[in-house]
Amino acid sequence: MSQASDPDLAHDEAAAWFLRLRAEDAAAQRPAFEAWVAADPAHAEAFAATEAAWGLFDAGAAQPEVLAMRRDALANAHRAGGARWRATAWRPGRRSLAAALLLAVATPLAAGVWFAAQPAAAREYRTGVGEQRTVTLSDGSRVSLDANTLLKVAYTRDLRLIELAEGRAHFEVAKDPARPLKVRAGEKTVTAIGTAFTVERRAGNEVVVTLVEGRVAVTDERRRAPATEMAPQQQLTLVADAAPVLRRDVDVERALAWREGKLAFDDETLAEAAQRMNGYSATKVVVEGERARSLRISGLFKAGDTAAFVEAVKAYFPLEAETSGETVTLRPHG
């Protein structure tokens, strides 16, 4: 295969051009870029794939920390690589500086896309209020989606890439040591080969990972800390800038009760419990007052049975309920 038609080389060059065209001297680079595109049809295809990969799984792109990372990447590319790109011929079989920069600052989920000869388009799976579904992916992995969940899947030849944009999902991963599966939720990434685990995105950028079997490694971009390796029956909670909290000997059956249509609350605030119940019914529960919202609740409830949940809360706490249309408001007596 000639260098011109080498897909790996084309994608390396495309990654470099992508960064160069976002540097301060982009206008001066344009004629050379257009000549590169015209030299081989594979170049245009590779550049389009690189642009798509940069935006792939970009739910958090507007967040300040993500924008800052991108600005740093472009600045570093301009400072560290400009002269080398102009002076050095492209070498097949090695990763270019630009590709390395992209890999370093891109989300771990999308990292493999730049080097795939045939990048896969992302496929979305979505559930609505009270809806659950199980899908089988192309590699045989099975994913169970909870209510109000959005999942994006894109497989390349090197990686199995998934983003949990919102909601909760349980993964039963088909074994493929040569192609790890990565699940990204916000700034958190779970890496697995063949295992079973659940990832849940909650309010306040909180992510909860529960491992059923096998092993996974969880990274948090925001903390820049080493990955947390998990063992079965462990649950990891990651919240904003706080240190991860690892719980051992978790009741896995209880943690997965949602797959059987039940919701397990374990010392959660009433506000959190109400929010989770709301995902399964058109009837919404609103908790008024900070004291009421901060009450702690534990128990197992049927998903979607808002009436039973409200009655149980009223029986346990000094609260009253007022119903108006499809809204039930819980507030302290009097």
CATH code of the domain containing 212:
2.60.120.1440
Q: Residue 86: which of 25, 22, 5 has the closest Cα? A: 25
Say how far apart CA 69 and CA 104 lie, in whole Å: 10
Q: Do residue 131 and residue 106 come from a single domain?
A: no
Q: What is the CATH number of the domain that holds 318?
A: 3.55.50.30
54 and 137 assigned to the same domain: no
Average pLDDT over residues 229-237: 94
Among residues 59, 89, 115, the one where a domain terminates is 115
Q: How far apart are the first and last CA of the chain?
A: 80
Same domain, 194 and 233: yes
Same domain? 137 vs 244? yes
Is the pTM value of this prediction over 0.95? no
pLDDT in tens, 207-220: 999 999 999 999 88
Residue 318 has pLDDT above 70, yes or no: yes
Residue that the structure tokens 């079997």 belong to: 213
Same domain, 21 and 110: yes
Of 115, 143, 169, the residue at which a domain comes to its end is 115
Structure tokens at 59: 């739910």
Question: Are 237 and 313 part of one and the same domain?
Answer: no
* Helices within 77-175 (DSSP H only): 82-87, 97-105
Q: Does residue 233 share a domain with residue 148? A: yes
pLDDT at 71 over 70: no
Q: Is 255 helix (H, G, I), strand (E, B) or coil?
A: helix
Last residue of a domain, one of 56, 88, 115: 115
Q: Which domain holds residue 37?
A: 3-115
Instruction: Give the pLDDT confidence score for residue 283 in this predicted structure.
Output: 95
20 shares its domain with 38: yes
Tally of domains in the chain:
3
If 0-12 CB within 10 Å is exposed, 13-18 middle and 19+ buried, where does residue 110 land? buried
Confidence band for 100, pLDDT divided at 50, 70 and 90: very low
- pLDDT tens-digit profile of 245-298? 899 999 999 999 999 999 999 899 999 999 999 999 999 999 999 999 999 999
Are 128 and 246 within one domain?
A: yes
206/285 same-domain check = no
**242 shares a domain with 142:** yes
Same domain, yes or no, for 51 and 68?
A: yes
Give tens-digit pLDDT for 38-53: 888 788 777 776 665 5
